[in-house]
Amino acid sequence: MTNILKILLIEDDMIEIMKLNRTVSSLKLNHKIIEANNGEDALKILEKKEDLPDIILLDLNMPKINGIEFLSILKKDEVLKYIPTIILTTSSNQKDLLECYKIGIAGYVLKPLKYEEYVSKIEKLLAYWSINELKKI
């Protein structure tokens, strides 16, 4: 049996948000997507401890608080640090990748150029996390 996931997508690019939403709906998945345009918004959302997401998809290049900073804040939080966070980015910068794994991430997925490939990657990603046991709130 697969879980229905509550996904927090932190992404400043409107089209990227559309891409994920469209992918989830086209795959006919029942996962719930919560959108945050930047780190600050995301932290506000995460303040509600009773309604935390199951996983977080995080873009690295964002205004204000960037992805890595956000990740650091998250991992320092006694509650939030248990939420698996997957990086979703176009940057293949090794330095970023190493830094992210060091702080603590659950995955690092590169956004492919082609939308079809994107759909395929997201499908696998969500399939994987929907069979994982996650922390109960």
Contacting positions for another protein (CB under 8 A): 13, 15-16, 18-19, 22, 60-61, 89-93, 95-96, 111-116, 118
Are the C-beta atoms of 67 and 60 separated by less than 8 Å?
A: yes
Nearest residue to 14 via CA among 24, 4, 25, 22: 22
Nearer to another protein, 46 or 62 (CB): 62
Angstrom distance (rounded) from CA 119 to CA 49: 31
Nearer to another protein, 116 or 133 (CB): 116
- What DSSP string runs through 98-118? HHHHHH--SEEEEPPSSHHHH
Shortest separation between residue 90's beta carbon and another protein, angstroms: 4
Nearer to another protein, 29 or 46 (CB): 29
Shortest separation between residue 58's beta carbon and another protein, angstroms: 14
Nearer to another protein, 38 or 91 (CB): 91
What are the φ/ψ torsions at residue 93 (nearest 5 degrees)? -60, 115
Shortest separation between residue 56's beta carbon and another protein, angstroms: 20
Shortest separation between residue 101's beta carbon and another protein, angstroms: 16
- What DSSP string runs through 9-59? EE-S-HHHHHHHHHHHHHTT---EEEEESSHHHHHHHHH-GGG--SEEEE-
